[in-house]
Amino acid sequence: MAVIFQKPKALKDTSMHYCPGCTHGIAHRLVAEALDELGIEGRTVGIASVGCSYNSYDYFNCDMIQAPHGRAPAVATGVKRSKPDCVVFTYQGDGDLAAIGTAEIVHAAARGENITVIFINNTIYGMTSGQMAPTTLLNQYTTTTPYGRIADLHGFPINVCEMLATLQGPAYIERASLHDVKNIKKAKEAVKKAFKVQLAGKGFSMVELLSTCPTNWGMSPVDALKRVRDEMIPHYPLGVFKGENLEV
């Protein structure tokens, strides 16, 4: 019987713990497909962070290190600087990367550290049950903004790609979305390009993936995908912020 669809080799044949409708599974798959297609799983070291994907090493087949909250870019730096032949990526959520790990991501980017960052932005803390994230949109309800995110009280959401793109260090920064098939295909190309940038030794690459959290948003999976399209993309526009013409 012909196999027409299967899991990428870089993903383990196991079921994931993510909630129904969560896009982490898609994001994992895109990373794994990139590792497969580039034939680099055997020399890849992934850095898991703190958040829902803390145990992504149970899903990826490559070597993995579990990093303290926010520190994945620093851990990745240590790996890359000691083993430059390894392909190193971090997989971080918005709380990990844009709140507690702000210093680490900014400086890894500023150094042009030759690593790849996969940044999952779902505008909320998932694992700890739905608190405000640095990317939470204004007026969004969370368990710590029960009356909505109010600028005067909670400040404004952070647009990470735009912020990092102001730096000289990064080689490639793109924001993509996982809310429909067309965009998932684009996201796939972005993730793959990010790894290619690293393989070419061009320096820091990051792909932000707009993602869902139906459980903590209190939405059905379908409505959650619509929210990405209707509410998130207007604030977090898709596109390449750095390295548009970079050939790899």
Partner 1 sequence: MGQKLLMKGNEAIAEAAVRAGCLHYFGYPITPQTEIAHYMARKLPKVGGVFLQAESEVAAINMVYGAGSTGTRVMTSSSSPGISLKQEGLSYLAGSQVPAVVVNIVRGGPGLGGIQPAQSDYFQACKGGGHGDYRQIVLAPSSVQELYELTVEAFNLADRYRIVAMILGDGILGQMMEVVEFRDEEPIEHYEKPWATTGHGGAREQNVITSIHLSPAVLEKMNQNLQAKYEIIKQKECRYELYNHEEAELFIVAYGTVARIAKSVIEMAKREGINVGLIRPVTLWPFPQEAFEKVIDRAKAFLTVEMSSGQMLEDVLLAVNGRRKVYFHGRMGGMVPVRDDIMNIVRDIYKRHVKKAE
> 73 or 157: whose CB is closer to partner 1?
73
Cα–Cα distance measured from residue 171 to residue 241, given in angstroms and rounded to the nearest whole number = 10
In angstroms, the CA 116 to CA 93 distance is 14
> Which among 42-50, 140-148, 167-175, 203-211 is the span making contact with partner 1, rule CB under 8 A?
42-50
Name which of 39 and 146 has its Cβ closer to partner 1: 39
Q: Which two tokens stand for residue 72?
A: 């994945």
Q: Is 54 in the site for partner 1 (CB under 8 A)?
A: yes
Smallest separation (angstroms) from partner 1 to the CB of 105: 10
Secondary structure (3-state) at 59: coil
**Alpha helix stretches (DSSP H) within the chain:** 24-38, 72-82, 94-95, 102-111, 151-154, 160-165, 181-199, 214-217, 221-227, 233-235
Identify any residues that bridge with 44 across adjacent strands, giving them in sequence order.
Answer: 87
One-letter identity of residue 127? M
Q: How far is the CB of 130 from partner 1 (least distance, A)?
A: 20
The answer to the question of residue 201 lying near partner 1 (CB under 8 A) is no
Q: Which is nearer to partner 1, 48 or 137 (CB)?
A: 48
Per CB under 8 A, 165 contacts partner 1: no
Tokens of 208: 């932000």
Does residue 83 belong to the site contacting partner 1 (CB under 8 A)? yes
Least spacing, CB of residue 109 vs partner 1, in Å: 11
* Interface positions with partner 1 (CB under 8 A): 41-45, 47-48, 54-55, 57, 60-68, 71, 74-83, 85-87, 103-104, 106-107
